[in-house]
RNA sequence: CGGGGCGUAGCGCAGCCCGGUUAGCGCAUCUGCUUUGGGAGCAGAGGGUCGCAGGUUCGAAUCCUGCCGCCCCGACCA
């Protein structure tokens, strides 16, 4: 067991917290429920951002930026949207401070805003109020815009990365001439999220549609990707919504079609957030610390020199430079940890804690033999190789690690996914932890009852769930498809 | 919003019940020497409005009152 990290078995949520803190990803700030994302954590987020941004642009989207503040009147235009968010909004009511008689700085009551401003919990309303000005004809469509931003949701209970009052995310908001096109966009973006989760985060996900009661406030259909964490709970890793004409109607956004008819615009919105950081941590990490997939690791290879004196360190420096030159040619990111203030054992432990996929250790012994010791983070395996050609070995190994941690996560999910045909069976599995595929009668009442009694919710109705005749585990009414249940974050 | 807990050095805590030397301990920090192939050892040093405001008392980290903040459990969570 690593110093300072509690084990997963001992206390899963403390283990998670310890990793976030000790791996230097983020920490709590002086602001309730809001975190400071530290450089190493932010570097991982930047990697995610970079790749997602690329994928968005490859599918024709452009970035733009809309205001942080939303006038209350905009916010209240779409009824179900308000219902969904009203209870967790930060509201700006004044625009000035003053010094009172006691010399304290207080809000100036005379500086009350005519109309309160909502700090965006999501941007549909401000964006659709803008789209009204941009869209007049079918020639103006589609609009394919993404925004990288921060949003605020005043959550009751917060957890680093998983649920914070302020978080970073991207939100795509698209406008289309037809329902079919908007639906296709909604699906396309879910596919992009799934591809990102599986190929980059090495985290298998289940694509599906949310039940009606779990839909986004204002959406006709909400699609999600759901991932299994190591405690068997589900984490919603991304959502893509088909908004129909709800926002177009609320903001009166119409266009003239080719045929000359005036029609409301069709919409989609989709987003992933810094919550993905939480998912990444909980999907792969172990009791020694973080385990990062090579494709998202800010540092893919760390090199630790082992030496007795300055002279030896100098010799190592020269050799290491030769190696790093080779790594550069293969586009491998690295760090030469030549700190003289820490000893090798400390460095080994620290880089394991930080999840660096590959570690090289080189000392006088290796210089003599022309070798280097290589350790991989995912399996803890150590092997000595010839320095000559090490860059090729590492290049291949990084791919292998990426692949291995995905397979490991997939295997874990498969081993913890079950079918239940009776409610008793269902309860037992949920109690233990894991995903359950079960028949459901499609009613909100049954869903509610299951949640009340077991704390499990319908995560989604998986797209790849085969059609089969069955009976709802609670009501016994007929059902055509199994849906995915789990306790969730 | 209900239930519980906590606030003492950068971090983690003891001391409080039962008021009384100069408020301790571990980690971290700094200095020196020895070390360096899996989280170093020894010696020394620095660091405190005891959450805030009142009160009781000869005397308050300790007792009383009020306030503030944070954490955990529950309810809530597109």
- pLDDT for A128-184, tens place per residue? 999 999 999 999 999 999 999 999 988 877 888 988 888 999 999 999 999 999 999
pLDDT for res A259? 95
* Residue–nucleotide distance: A483 CA to B25 C1' (Å): 56
* Residue–nucleotide distance: A370 CA to B78 C1' (Å): 57
The model's confidence at residue A90, banded by pLDDT at 50, 70 and 90, is confident
Q: Pick out residues 322-351 of chain A having their CB under 7 A from any atom of nucleic acid strand B.
A: 343-346, 348-350
Q: Is the CB of A370 under 7 A from strand B?
A: no
**Structure ipTM:** 0.84
The model's confidence at residue A210, banded by pLDDT at 50, 70 and 90, is very high
Q: In chain A, list all ranges with CATH 3.40.50.800.
A: 296-401
What's the mean per-residue pLDDT of chain A?
93
Q: Tell me the C-alpha distance between A62 and A449, whole Å.
A: 43
The model's confidence at residue A1, banded by pLDDT at 50, 70 and 90, is very low
The model's confidence at residue A436, banded by pLDDT at 50, 70 and 90, is very high
Contact status, residue A197 vs residue A448, Cβ threshold 8 Å: no
Q: In chain A, list all ranges with CATH 3.30.930.10.
A: 12-68+124-284
Which nucleotide is at minimal CA–C1' distance from A160?
A: B71
Q: Taking the mean position of all CA atoms in its chain, how far away is CA A444?
A: 28
A181 or A37: whose pLDDT is higher? A181
The model's confidence at residue A3, banded by pLDDT at 50, 70 and 90, is low
Examine the pLDDT at A7 and tell me if it is beyond 70.
yes
CATH 3.40.50.300 fits A296-401, yes or no: no
Q: Which of A82, A116, A268, A90 is nearest to A188 (CA)?
A: A268
Three-state SS for A154?
coil
Residue at minimum CA to C1' distance from nucleotide B12: A4
Distances from the Cα of A259 to the Cαs of A135, A137, A140, in angstroms?
Answer: 16, 11, 15
Segment A220-251, tens digit of pLDDT: 999 999 999 998 999 999 999 999 999 999 99
The model's confidence at residue A2, banded by pLDDT at 50, 70 and 90, is very low
* Residue–nucleotide distance: A479 CA to B72 C1' (Å): 41
Which nucleotide is at minimal CA–C1' distance from A361?
A: B37
Q: Are strands A334-336 and A301-305 parallel, antiparallel or unpaired?
A: parallel
Q: Is the CB of A155 under 7 A from strand B?
A: yes
Contact status, residue A482 vs residue A436, Cβ threshold 8 Å: no
Q: What is the mean pLDDT of residues A103-110?
A: 77
Q: In chain A, list all ranges with CATH 3.30.110.30.
A: 415-486
- DSSP category for residue A197: I
Q: What is the mean pLDDT of residues A107-131?
A: 92
Q: Tell me the C-alpha distance between A40 and A25, whole Å.
A: 6
**CB A441: neighbour CB atoms within 10 A?**
16
pLDDT for res A88? 85
* Residue–nucleotide distance: A72 CA to B52 C1' (Å): 37
Query: Structure pTM?
Result: 0.95
CATH 3.40.50.1820 fits A12-68+124-284, yes or no: no
CATH 3.30.2310.20 fits A415-486, yes or no: no
Please give the share of chain A, as a percent, with pLDDT higher than 90: 77
Q: What is the mean pLDDT of residues A361-368?
A: 96
* Residue–nucleotide distance: A110 CA to B4 C1' (Å): 41
Cis peptide before A142 (omega within 30 of 0): yes
């Amino acid at each position: 067991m690593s110093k300072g990290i509690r084990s997963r078995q001992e206390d899963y949520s403390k283990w998670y917290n310890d990793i976030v803190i000790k791996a230097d990803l983020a920490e709590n700030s002086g602001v309730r429920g809001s975190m400071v994302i530290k450089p190493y954590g932010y570097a991982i987020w930047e990697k995610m951002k970079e790749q997602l941004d690329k994928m968005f642009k490859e599918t024709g989207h452009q970035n733009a930026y809309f205001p942080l503040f939303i006038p209350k009147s905009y916010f209240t235009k779409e009824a179900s949207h308000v219902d969904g968010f009203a209870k967790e909004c930060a509201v700006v009511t004044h625009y000035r401070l003053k010094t009172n008689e006691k010399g304290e700085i207080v809000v100036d009551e005379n500086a009350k805003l005519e109309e309160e401003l909502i700090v965006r919990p999501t941007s549909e309303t401000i964006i659709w109020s803008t789209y009204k000005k941009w869209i007049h004809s079918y020639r103006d469509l589609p609009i394919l815009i993404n925004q990288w931003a921060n949003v605020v949701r005043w959550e009751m209970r917060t957890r680093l990365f998983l649920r914070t009052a302020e978080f970073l995310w991207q939100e795509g908001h698209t406008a289309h001439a037809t329902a079919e096109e908007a639906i296709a966009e909604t699906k396309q973006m879910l596919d992009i999220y799934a591809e990102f989760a599986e190929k980059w985060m090495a985290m298998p996900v289940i694509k599906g549609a949310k039940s009606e009661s779990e839909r986004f406030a204002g959406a006709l259909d909400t699609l999600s990707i759901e991932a299994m964490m190591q405690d068997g709970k589900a984490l919603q890793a991304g959502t893509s919504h088909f908004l129909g004409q709800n926002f177009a109607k609320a903001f009166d956004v119409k266009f003239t079609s080719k045929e000359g008819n005036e029609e409301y615009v069709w919409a989609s919105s989709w987003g992933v957030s810094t919550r993905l950081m939480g998912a990444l941590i909980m999907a792969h990490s172990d009791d020694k610390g973080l385990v990062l997939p090579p494709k998202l690791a800010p540092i893919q290879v760390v090199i630790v020199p082992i030496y007795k004196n300055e002279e030896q360190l100098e010799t190592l420096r020269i050799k290491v430079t030769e190696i790093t030159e080779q790594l550069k040619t293969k586009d491998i990111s690295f760090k030469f940890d030549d700190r003289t203030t820490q000893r090798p054992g400390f460095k080994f432990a620290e880089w394991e804690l930080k999840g660096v996929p590959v570690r090289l250790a080189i000392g006088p012994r290796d210089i003599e033999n022309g070798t280097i010791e290589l350790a991989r983070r995912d399996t803890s395996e150590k092997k000595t190789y010839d320095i000559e050609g090490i860059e090729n070995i590492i290049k291949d190994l990084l791919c292998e690690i990426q692949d291995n941690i995905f397979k490991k996560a997939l295997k874990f999910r498969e081993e913890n996914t079950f079918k239940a045909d009776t409610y008793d069976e269902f309860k037992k599995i949920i109690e233990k932890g894991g995903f359950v595929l079960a028949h459901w009668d499609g009613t909100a009442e049954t869903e509610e009852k299951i949640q009340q009694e077991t704390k499990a919710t319908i995560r989604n109705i998986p797209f790849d769930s085969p059609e089969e005749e069955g009976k709802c585990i609670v009501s016994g009414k007929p059902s055509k498809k199994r849906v995915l249940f789990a306790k969730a974050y």
